[in-house]
Chain A
Amino acid sequence: MSGGTADAPTDLIEDYLDRLLVSLSGSPRQVRHTLAEVEAHLRDAVAEGIAAGLPEETAQVQALERIGPVHAVTGRPAGLARPSAALLRRLTLTAALVGGAGFVAIGGAGLVGRLLQVLKGNLFMTTPFPPGTYTQADCARWLAGDPGTRACVTAMLADHAFDYLLQATACGLLGLAGLAAYLFLRRRWSDRATATALPAGTAQGLGAILAGIAAVACFGQVAGLETVQRGVGVGEPLSLGIAATVAAAAFALALRRCLRTARMRTT
């Protein structure tokens, strides 16, 4: 096993052959033979481009354009191709990173929510149930949880705000576990086939998009509550919106760094 390849500059031909290797089916001998003849083909095409005066990288790009996508060589339509082990590993890493960071962001929203609760109170955090939609037993339960209060609505608001903060904290802890799993698996699956199974920055781009959509949805809800309820219950979507915005910005920065690194490796 060659441990040095992970740090070597990116070779587009090598990356293509990695993808081909994990996509080919057949006996080990058939796979070896196809890989060898396609590599000879690509090296010939690159040598031809260089002989025609092209820089090596351009010659590689042209050779890959001419040979076509990996599924052209495997003879299987891309949509029907069996997902490779490398692709499954990369998808698992993507899910762990995006999911983990997403849940950590919800945990962060809990911290922001706690701050808003201290500054603005429970009525800002959560909307009370309309009168008539809860029972005396509900009231008794809420009041039991907040012995210093005599008003049912006040106890209800405190209960709901506490629930929100508790759930956000649980999500944050789950997110930390997801990120820990991501770091562990990334070290375990550091092979090049896994690293190149999806384009560079896929996870970061996906995270930025999802967090951005969540931020827009949350701030939209904030605007609606401000208009309809004059600020009552704004705290929950506001804290989630702030956390989603921070997550989207962090993912966007990570995406930029990732793309810059990938570009530097190809030049």
Chain B
Amino acid sequence: MKAEKLKGHLDLLLLSVLSRGPGHGYEVITRLKVRSGGAFQLPEGTVYPALHRLEDAGLLASGWDVVAGRRRRIYHLTAAGEAALAEQAAQWREFSGSMARVLGSAIPALATAGGMA
């Protein structure tokens, strides 16, 4: 999936990935790739401004730790982040459900039109 399509959903994706446990930037990106089955490919650098923005908004907090011999910034979800994740996930489910219903009713019509042509 193209990076442009992911941009509007990056915050939700990051909150979701970090809801499974704290992690540093590289780990967050790796989890995102694994959980999307490799479908979500975006310039990895774009994750950092998003993480910083979420931290500024109070949805994430970070601290420094040494992991595998390297000093890393570990991010974790705050209580406000958990609430934001629940709200955004509910909105997304509602939106994707509506999209699925619309597309679901359109696809047989399209298939019929294609078959007649």
Decide if B45 touches A37 in the complex (CB within 8 Å): no
A263 close to B (CB within 8 Å): no
A171 to chain B, nearest CB (A): 46
Q: Which of B13-21, B70-78, B97-105 contacts A (4 or more CB under 8 A)?
A: B70-78
B92 close to A (CB within 8 Å): no
Decide if B44 touches A36 in the complex (CB within 8 Å): no
Knowing A37-B24, A66-B43, A68-B43, say if A43 contacts B70 (CB, 8 Å): yes
Knowing A44-B26, A45-B26, say if A38 contacts B45 (CB, 8 Å): yes
B39 to chain A, nearest CB (A): 16
B95 close to A (CB within 8 Å): no
A207 to chain B, nearest CB (A): 33
Interface string of A26-37 (1 = CB under 8 A from B): 000010011011
Those of A88-138 within 8 Å (CB) of chain B: none
A154 close to B (CB within 8 Å): no
Main DSSP-derived SS at the A contact region: helix
B25 interface neighbour in A37, A70, A74, A75, Cβ under 8 Å:
A37
Decide if B46 touches A68 in the complex (CB within 8 Å): yes
A186 to chain B, nearest CB (A): 31
Decide if B26 touches A68 in the complex (CB within 8 Å): no
Q: Enumerate chain B residues within 8 angstroms of A34, measured Cβ to Cβ.
A: 48, 52
A68 interface neighbour in B44, B52, B71, Cβ under 8 Å:
B44
A67 close to B (CB within 8 Å): yes
Range for the number of chain A residues in contact with chain B: 20 to 34
B75 to chain A, nearest CB (A): 10
Decide if A36 touches B26 in the complex (CB within 8 Å): no
A69 close to B (CB within 8 Å): yes
Those of A58-78 within 8 Å (CB) of chain B: 66-70, 72-75
Q: Enumerate chain B residues within 8 angstroms of A36, measured Cβ to Cβ.
A: 71, 73
B8 close to A (CB within 8 Å): no
Q: Enumerate chain B residues within 8 angstroms of A253, measured Cβ to Cβ.
A: none
B115 close to A (CB within 8 Å): no
Decide if A40 touches B43 in the complex (CB within 8 Å): no
Decide if B72 touches A37 in the complex (CB within 8 Å): yes
A106 to chain B, nearest CB (A): 45
Decide if A74 touches B43 in the complex (CB within 8 Å): no
B80 to chain A, nearest CB (A): 21
Q: Enumerate chain A residues within 8 angstroms of B73, measured Cβ to Cβ.
A: 33, 36-37, 40
Q: Enumerate chain B residues within 8 angstroms of A68, measured Cβ to Cβ.
A: 43-46
State in angstroms the CA–CA spacing of A38 and B25 once bound together: 8
**6 pairs of A and B residues whose beta carbons are closest in the complex:** A68-B43, A75-B49, A72-B45, A73-B45, A68-B45, A67-B45
Could you list 22 examples of A-B contacts with CB < 8 Å?
A: A30-B52, A33-B73, A34-B48, A34-B52, A36-B71, A36-B73, A37-B48, A37-B72, A37-B73, A38-B25, A38-B48, A40-B24, A40-B25, A40-B70, A40-B71, A40-B73, A41-B25, A45-B26, A68-B45, A72-B43, A73-B46, A75-B49
